[in-house]
Amino acid sequence: MEEKIKLSNLIVEDDLNETALASILERFVRIKADSSKIIIFPDFLRLKSRDKILVLLLGFKALKLLNLRENEGVGPKEIHILSGINLSTVKNTLRDLEAENFASRENGKYSVPNFLLQSLDEYLSKLELGDQRKNPPKRRRLARLGLSRIDALLKSKPSDSFQKFYSMLIQEKGKYLLKCLIILHIAREQFQVVSLTAGEITYILKDFIGVPMIHQSNITTALGARDSARYIFKEKDEKGKYSYKLNAKGEEFIDQSLSEYESREN
């Protein structure tokens, strides 16, 4: 005899599955308790925008659970600032998530219902993350882009190559000149490349590391600003193309900025 389906089987419990929440987040983010901040990890940068937004919604749920935030609901602008995703993309994605019942909205703030945590854990755990650079650039393509001399750097792992600077590059908004100086420092000290062009610096920041909101116009402007002459040497080749070298004052500026960043974070 066929077993009848009970209506009670259709009831979903909204109890919080803390184990599933922790399982999702440990792959992509960490939380600094003293500053109530979500720290992005490298795998987060390899997610599609929709999944990034879901993970951040869950990160704010964790902050609330840890009593580091009053409410778990979060607005589009806060997600935009943290992730670097275009604000209109964030708004549209949140509306889509709400329409698909992956998120709920109250007073303009979004959150993920607790009963979805288990299924989201299963979904994200099976997600195969491609390299954020997709296919590593081949030698011919690097040569065509004029990047063949930084081939060794591009073959390394960003979080390993940039170590103590990695979180700072990802988390700090703007500060384009400082980010250029850090790239020049790492290229010289770890890969024996003593100078870089604006195009090479842009490629390393945007395509290799995945730093949000990077465009070559920002980098060119930062390197050409009057203040930059205190920290870098500028050289022009026979084709009129500029390359940049870090000087001693630039090293001091990096050390001071890193110290200030670490003191804020700690």
Tens of pLDDT, residues 238-250:
778 889 999 999 9
Three-state SS sequence of 114-158: HHHHHHHHHHHHCCCCCCCCCCCCCHHHHHHHCCHHHHHHHHCCH
DSSP 64-101: HHTTSSS-S-B-HHHHHHHH---HHHHHHHHHHHHHTT
- pLDDT for residue 21 is more than 80: yes
Mean pLDDT of the residues in the chain: 85
Q: What is the pLDDT of residue 132?
A: 46
pLDDT tens digits for 250-259? Answer: 999 999 999 8
- Are 144 and 127 a contacting pair, CB within 8 Å? no
Share of the chain above pLDDT 90, in %: 47
Share of the chain above pLDDT 70, in %: 87
Give the Cβ contact number of residue 155 at 10 Å.
11
Confidence band, pLDDT 50/70/90 cuts, at residue 127:
confident
pLDDT tens digits for 62-107? Answer: 999 999 999 999 999 999 888 888 889 999 999 999 999 999 999 9
Joined together, the tokens standing for residue 90 give: 């964030």
- Packing angle of the helix pair 76-83, 49-65 (nearest 10 deg): 110
Report the alpha-carbon distance of residue 227 to residue 263 in Å, rounded.
Answer: 25
pLDDT tens digits for 187-229? Answer: 999 999 999 999 999 999 988 887 877 888 999 999 999 889 9
Q: What is the pLDDT of residue 161?
A: 82
Contacts of 225 (CB under 8 A, 6+ apart): 177
Report the alpha-carbon distance of residue 25 to residue 17 in Å, rounded.
Answer: 13
Joined together, the tokens standing for residue 168 give: 């700072």
Phi and psi at 104, nearest 5°, equal -120, 155
- pLDDT for residue 163 is more than 70: yes
Q: Domains in the chain and their CATH numbers?
A: 10-125 (1.10.10.10), 139-265 (1.10.10.10)
Q: What is the pLDDT of residue 1?
A: 45
Within 13 Å of residue 197, how many CA atoms lie on the same side as its CB?
16
Q: What is the pLDDT of residue 134?
A: 45
- pLDDT for residue 22 is more than 60: yes
